[in-house]
Structure 1
């Protein structure tokens, strides 16, 4: 078994911070895209990966649900990270010296209000937050700033021009820890599960499933629909549930396997939201 965890982005990215919280002793395999990250699991370069799955402002990262489902990956845990966006550049510059700010489109969007006070600054989209910080450091680019984590500023030796510049101060992203192989978690430590199923368009079919969950004492914390590409106007449902006793989940699972089409458990793990 290798001692690497795959992350989207590079050291200093938000995925990197989550990987450090997960297990600081593990090295990281940097992947520029989520497709590359999944490939690293499938081809055995690593057996663990960190994937962002939803944001408290922007909502679900739908392509990542599809990647987990399509490649039969298993969710073994979750982590909620408070996202703090910081403006950084080479030292010796003020914000008035900055002509361009480069960052991931999501980061730019979440900090849009801040830049209304600086109309001279051009906002430029990039693939990754930390990658811009590295580029500024490597090439000693003056007049260009990055929006990234404090960790990125420390790693690449940049100075902070402004801290916590996101418009909505409480901004969380939920990440999942995924593996190719299913871990056997201890049932007494499991109180959350991620499920996927399909339903016919028959009236009341979704309501019936939700009633089963309620009757079995499951608490629905997330529901996300995704179109089934091969079958127009038919949908898969991705659902997260929490429960106090694993026996309640087992009961619901046995009923839902009979009721819903292509029922699948994507992961059983510990609720990180407690």
Structure 2
């Protein structure tokens, strides 16, 4: 049976927004002072070449529990440059509580706040753009391992998990994308601690291109597809620890260039 959760208390989330926001700068300075330790097996630099006049570079920092702490992106698309910065905050139990996403040059962005019941069961999601809470509803289909986040503007994002709670499918409106994965090799984020809440944030942010960061998947991705379009992961190169250092995502559509990835773990 589905459980429906709606955002009913604006005051509660405004207070959370104010409290977490006040601590944001302090947390950033602590991260800078401490110098985030790099964990073996965690991808820190990911470079993507779309081979169509677009390149992307990601820098990822982690906390001691191997959870993503910050995610910085630089994109050059035909001379147009974009720079975003995301910060993730966790509670003492390791639950993702808040995400701050910023379009750095424009000083704009959004925030997501997460509420849990029990120790770690996600029960509600609040989204703020420009300090204003959006009208959303969060549905959690527990038996079938599915999340759904609906916006009043008509956007609907569905996230389905496989038996190991990795992303198995992503739905945007009526479009359904499905993955084929394997445990025979390590996925790009095999060593990271990626929660289902983090995956919901990822799908919400990358719904136009959810494959860009390997779906934050721990498993080896073989292919994915939606409708009549299919993509396969090819030319994989791994280091002595079995970690991906480069690969290509190849479309089955004629004339579409491959997307080439290179990964740095140092």
Higher fraction of helix = 1
Q: Which structure exhibits the higher relative contact order, with contacts defined as CA atoms closer than 8 Å and separated by 6 or more residues?
A: 1
If the length of structure 1 is used for normalisation, what is the TM-score?
A: 0.24
TM-score in terms of structure 2 length: 0.24
- Higher-Rg member (1/2): 1
Name the structure where strand makes up a greater proportion of residues: 2
